[in-house]
Each structure stands twice: as C-alpha cells, then as structure tokens.
Structure 1
Amino acid sequence: MVSHNMTWIKYPSEEFIEIEDIIRIQNIISRFMHIYIALFVPTSLVAGTFNLVTFIKGHTKMEKLDFYLLDLTVTNLLVTLFSFTAITRPEYISTTNLSCGVLSFFFNICYFNAQYIQIVMSYTLLFQNYLPCLNMVMLIKKPLGYVSLVFVCAFISSLGGVMLLGTVGSLHENTLCQVDPLTAWPEYEIVKFSLGFGMALIIKVVFFTLLIGKLVRKDAPPQKADTSTYLVMLTITLIMFACRLFYNIMLLNRSRHKLQGDNGSPRDELIMNIAELVLFGESCMNNLVILFLHKPCKLALNKSLRNLTKRCRREETHDSIAL
C-alpha cells in the first residue's frame, strides 16, 4: 500500500535527473533562506523578546487579551527558534527518525497552539457577548483556563500527527529531516490540514455567520472591546490565514504526490520550502503586530524610544561641553 510504505520517497534534489534545474532551484532556496535569516529572524526575536518583557513587567495588570497575546508571543518565539532547523537549506538536517519525530512533535504543538489560541481570542473577545448560546457549553471563565485548554488540545493534535509519521519500526535509522518529515504517511498532511487549518476555518465561518445573524436581527448586546482589540485581532487573523493557506495548500499537494507514488519535481520542492519559510515568517509578523498595535507594548516601545532619545541628547550635550 503506497500510503503505508514510504521507503521509496526522496527529495527531487537527491535524484540528479536534471542537474541544471536542481542547481537553479537550490540557488533560489538559498537566497530565500538568506533573506529570512537576515531580516525575519532578528526582527522576530527582538520584537518577541520586547513584547515578552513588557507582559512580564505588567503581569499584575494583565487582562484577557494580554494573557492570550503572551501565549502567542511565546509560541512565536519558539517557532522562530524552530526555524533554525532550516538554516542548512537547500540541504536538509541528517538525523534519526526518532529525533526527527521529536522535532516534528514539539513544532506541531506550537503550530496548533497558535491557531487554537487565535480561535479562543476571537470567541472570548469578539463573539462571546454575541453568542450567549455558547456560554452554556464553555464552562471556562478565566483566561488561564482557556490557555490551558488550548495547550491540551494542541498537545493531543500534535500527538496524533506523530502517530502518522510511520517511523515506529525504524526509529534509529538515518533520514533527512524537516519540521514536516517528507517520509510521513499522506494521512499526516491531511490530518495536519484538517486540525490546524480546515477545522479552524469552519469554526470562524460559524462564528461570523452567527454574528451576522445577530447583527441583522439587531438583538446583539454592545461590545466592550475597544478599537485596538478589534484591530489586533483582525490583523493577526488575516496574517495567519494568508500564511497558513499557502502552506496548507502545499502540504495537500505533497500528500497528493505521495498518494500517486510520485516524488514531485524540483519546482515542487522549491515551493514547499518557500511555503515553510512563509509559515516561519508568520511568527515575525505577529510579533510586530503585537508590538505596534497592542496598547501596552506600543506604549512601552514609545517610552523606550523617548528614554533612548533623551540619553543620546545628554551624551551629545556632555560631549559638546567637554569640547
């Protein structure tokens, strides 16, 4: 059965059928990797660390949105660190199936956690007052309870993905590894798409449909969320949708090739690598959104810039007097 015997599959760049195409594709992958490492990684780490410090300093005044964005910030930082596994591209990490499975497991926890926390943010901050019918189902009232529930769901989803890697009988064999192993069963990509994108999209469509129905009937209670909350939520939702749509399309395309018993072309490998970098770039963009649009982080940034400007002016004045 093709879906459960993946020993035949390999990266197109390993086949050396059309050497010129492979060299050209690898050069493109390498350039994209250099851009990502030079621009996105430091930006994500700096912005994410600043946001994290801001949340920690203001932990006594944290509200619902702060708890969710703190969780998302930590997740984004971890995803950025996981992206270092792609630093060797166009080459892939050579390791054992066991190590590759562990890498995939922990990365997928972050992947699912970011998606699920975004759904919880949408529900508790934007739709909860519009959808009182769901309040009877959701017994959790505190943000920490929602964050814990999200982590449990992400852990279970990631565990389900690991079970579909198909490497139980060859854990100590060497393989070329990335966060979504090429040798995984096609069901792995399908389940990851379903749990990490398809299901989330359906839930959002249901939320917005119920919301529109309430607004049309004009019986929705007033919302307490301010404009910045709506802006942060909308921007994060759009970024995650755009990045994950491209990535999940390529995951399904890879699954299709596996089911057809086809390794794909060097072009498919190139686009899959780009899609993976786009997914990593999502964490950078989300960190920037939190930094520039979330009030506590934006105020902390403005305060830091003012203090830095004052310090520079004092140093200039001191140097002028010394002269």
Structure 2
Amino acid sequence: MSNQSEVLAPPGMNTTTPFLNTILNTSTSTVLPYDDLHTIAAQDITSRANYIYSFLAALGFVAGCFLFYSFIQTYRALKRLAWLNRLLWAFCGLQLLLLLLSLHVVVYIPHYLRTTGLGCAALSFTINTVSLCSLFVLVLMAYVLTLDPPSHALLRKPWVCGALVSLTSFLIALMLAGLRGPREGMQVEYMCVMDPVSAGVSYAAARLCLAFLIPYLLQLGLLMAGCVRQWKSRRRFLSGSEEGPVFLTVTVVMFFCQLFYSVVLVRGAQLAQKEGLSCHEQAFLTVAEFVLFSGSSASLLIVLLMHRPCRESLHGALRQLRDCCRSPGASQTNRNIIAPHIEITDTLQDIE
C-alpha cells in the first residue's frame, strides 16, 4: 500500500488556477462572431478599392486640368477650334465634372453620404444627366468622324448639338429619377446610394437600356455606316483624322466600365429582391461604382496621351519644367568659351 495519498478537491471547487482562467477568458473574448468577420472583410475590400480609385481620380483630375490648359492655349493661338476639338473639349469637361461628383463616394467610405431623400434623388439625377451627356457627345463624335457631314449641316452647329444632347439626357435622367424615386420620403435622412438596389429590378433594367444600350447602339450603327462608306470609297477607316484613334479607345474603355456597372446593378437588384444582399455583395456594388467613375479618369488620361496637340503641350511643359529644375550654371557650360585675342606689339628692335 502506498504511503502517498491523493488530495482530492472537494466537489464544486474549481481546480484551474486563476492565471489559467484569465488566459482562457481573454482568448474567448477576442473571438469575433462570424458576421463581424465578414463585415470587416467587406470593409477591407471597399477601403482598398477606395485607395486605388482615389489615386486614379487624382491622376484624372490633373490630366483634366492640363487638358483645359492645352485647349485654351490652342484657342488663343488659332483663335478658333475645329468641330471635333470642340466636341472633345466638351467631353473632357463632362468627365471632369463626373470626377468631382464622385467625391460623395470617396469621402464617406466605408459608409455613404447621409442626406434627405430629395437631396439623394437630385444627386443621382445630376450624375445620370452628366454621364448621358458625355455618352451622347461621343455619339456626335462618331457621327462627324464616320459620315463627315458638311459644315452647313444642322448637327455641325454648336447650339443645335448642345440643345439636342442636353434635352435628350435630361429626359432620360428624368425617367430614371421617376423610376428610382425617394422610397423613404422626401425629407427623411438616410444613407444615399446613387443607384440603390432597393429601387427594384425595373429601375436597374431601365438604366441598362436607357443609359447604356441606347447611346452605344447609336455609336455602333454610326460606326457600321462609316465602315460601309469607307469600304465603298476604298479608303482606310478614320485614316485622315487625328481624333479617330482617341475616339475609339475612349469608347471602348467607357463601354466596358458602363457594362460592368450596369450588369452588377441588375444582378444586385435581383439578389436584393430574392434573398437580400450580404456584406460582400454590398462591397462589390461599391467597387462597381468605383469602376464606373474610373472610366472618366481613364478617358482623360487617354485623351492627354493620345491626342497629338495635348501630347505636344505636355512634352513642352515637361521640357520647361526640366529646364527650370536644371542648375543655372549647367546650361551655360558651353558658352563660357574665351575668344582668342591676338595682340601684336612692336618692339624697339623692329622699329629700328
């Protein structure tokens, strides 16, 4: 029989040391619920997308300001602008305005702008109007580039084009605003989303058709007509225009950005109607908004780098900046050459 006896703890007494209890309580208290982890992950995705878009928006804003400087310099030199350059100027101005309107998404991340229903509807109406105006300006550029109308044509007059683009965009945006509507009252404050999925599938589908398909179907029809016209005349398509490659590149970039946003919006509206949106799906909608506005920044950068007068202005500005940053003595190194001076003196022996 062993002399050592086991000391048994009384029933109900906790045998765990206080230090171990503290560790266990601390470890269990730091475990977050499953929903909170998903919310944090979704906010992390939104924040990363916000950083990327902020960088692109800053580049686009600088490019837009320089484009306006270049256009003003061209106008002061020539006292007039060609019709395509005027359309390009209007398009760049609208894209710069869209970048400024996109600040409501950037500033309040990971949340949204909090305003009344009337203010949110007005913001959405303004963004849709400006976006539609820029797309219809591209339609006018396609018309001029492909069909080459005479200078006395009706659509070559600035006031006619401005009125047509503004009126068409206003009416389409007004229809979308009627479908969207302030769902929770005019004076009730809530988180403002530009195109809420709560507006229903009908609004998302209407926006897809009116704000995306109609402008690009018009562009596609004009481009096909231009291809047929150029093929019959046996000339290269858009060969005699400097704005042709710029127009095609900008159109393709805007097409994919608008398509991505419209498809994501329709899908989000369908999911919200069936089972509701998760945190990741809401974050994906925010990323889609960033992609939509990134098209404006990319368009401004494309115009700056591909349009020859703007590119030459950029090269000239960079050259002047390089000359200013260079040290003052470095530019004069080749000029400090002492000219030879020959002096002939008559000595006394030569005189004799």
TM-score by length of 2: 0.76
Distance 2:260 2:69 in 1: 32
Give 2:38's aligned residue.
21
Instruction: Give CA-to-partner distance per residue, 1:66-124, whole Å, 9 cap, x none.
Output: 11111111111111111111122221111110110111111111111121111111111
1:58 shift after superposition: 2.4
- Partner residue, 2:169: 154
1:26 to 1:223, Cα distance in 2 relative to 1, 3 A = closer
Which is bigger in relative contact order (C-alpha 8 A, separation at least 6)?
1
Separation (CA, whole Å) in 2 of partners of 1:237 and 1:144: 24
SS for the counterpart of 1:164 is helix
Contact 1:68 1:143 in 2 (8 A): no
Q: Partner residue of 2:225? A: 210
Of 209, 218, 221, the match for 1:194:
209
- Residue 102 (structure 2) pairs with residue 83 (structure 1): yes
Q: 1:117 aligns with which of 126, 137, 141?
A: 137
Cα distance in 2 between the residues matched to 1:316 and 1:21: 61
Secondary structure of 2:326's match? helix
Work out the percentage of aligned pairs sharing the same amino acid. 27
1:46-71 deviation per Cα after TM superposition (whole angstroms, max 9, x unaligned): 10001012212323231122111111
The alpha-carbon deviation at position 209 of structure 1 amounts to: 3.4
* Inter-partner Cα distance in structure 2 for 1:307 and 1:248: 44
Matched residue, 1:263: 276
Q: 2:66 — aligned with what?
A: 50
Query: 2 CA distance for matches of 1:242 and 1:284?
Result: 14
Q: 1:13 is matched with which residue?
A: none
| d(CA) in 1 for partners of 2:130, 2:200 | 21
CA contact (8 A) 1:232 1:294 kept: yes
Q: Which residue number corresponds to residue 157 of structure 2?
A: 142
- 1:178 match: 193
RMSD: 2.7
2:109 aligned counterpart, secondary structure: coil
The CA distance in 2 between the partners of 1:117 and 1:287, in whole Å, is 14
From 62, 67, 86, give the equivalent of 2:81.
Answer: 62
Q: Is the 8 A contact 2:227 2:237 kept in 1?
A: no
Question: Does residue 249 of the first structure (1) align with residue 291 of the second (2)?
Answer: no
Q: Structure 1 residues 300, 118: closer, same or farther in 2, change over 3 A?
A: same
Contact 2:133 / 2:165 at 8 angstroms: preserved in 1? yes
SS in 2 for 1:95: strand
> 5+ residue gaps in structure 1?
1-15
Q: Tell me if the contact between 1:29 and 1:273 (Cα under 8 Å) persists in the aligned partners.
A: yes
Letter in 1 for 2:105: A
Distance 1:291 1:147 in 2: 24
Query: CA shift at 1:225, angstroms?
Result: 5.8
Relative to structure 1, the CA distance from residue 50 to residue 114 in structure 2 (aligned partners, 3 Å threshold; closer, same or farther) is same
Q: CA deviation at 1:227?
A: 5.0
In structure 2, the residue matched to 1:5 is none
Instruction: State the AA in 2 paired with 1:156.
Output: L
> How far is 1:276 from its partner?
0.7
Q: Does 1:95 align with 2:115?
A: yes
Q: What is the alpha-carbon distance in structure 2 between the residues aligned to residue 29 and residue 307 of structure 1?
A: 40
Q: How many residues align?
A: 295
The CA distance in 2 between the partners of 1:186 and 1:238, in whole Å, is 26
Q: Distance in 2 between matches of 1:293 and 1:197?
A: 25
- Distance in 2 (CA, whole Å) between partners of 1:99 and 1:51 is 31
Residues in 1 aligned to 2:331 and 2:233: alpha-carbon distance in whole angstroms: 64
Q: Could you list the structure 1 runs, at least 4 aligned residues long, displaced by more than 6 angstroms after superposition.
A: 220-224
Q: Determine the structure 2 residue equivalent to 1:32.
A: 49
Query: Who is 1:3 aligned against?
Result: none
Q: Hey, what's the Cα distance between the residues in 1 that align with 2:51 and 2:179?
A: 32
Q: Taking structure 1 as the reference length, what is the TM-score of the superposition? A: 0.82
Residues 316 and 105 from structure 1, CA distance in 2 versus in 1: closer, same or farther, beyond 3 angstroms?
farther
User: In the alignment, is residue 166 of structure 1 matched against residue 181 of structure 2?
Assistant: yes
AA matched with 2:206: V
Q: CA deviation at 1:277?
A: 0.5
> Are 2:85 and 1:71 equivalent residues in the alignment?
no
Q: Distance in 1 between matches of 2:137 and 2:239?
A: 18
- Would the aligned equivalents of 1:76 and 1:287 in 2 still touch at CA under 8 Å? yes
Higher radius of gyration, 1 or 2: 2
Residues 26 and 169 of structure 1: CA distance in aligned 2, closer, same or farther (over 3 Å): closer
| CA separation of 1:24 and 1:299: change in aligned 2, threshold 3 A | same
Letter in 1 for 2:267: N
Between the aligned partners of 1:21 and 1:168, the Cα distance in structure 2 is 28
User: Deviation of residue 188 (structure 1)?
Assistant: 2.4
- Rounded to whole Å, the distance in 2 between the matches of 1:31 and 1:211 is 42
Give yes or no for contact 1:100–1:178 (8 Å, CA) kept in 2: yes
Counterpart AA for 2:298: M
Unmatched 5+ residue regions in structure 2? 1-32, 334-352
How far apart, in 2, do the equivalents of 1:34 and 1:246 lie? 20
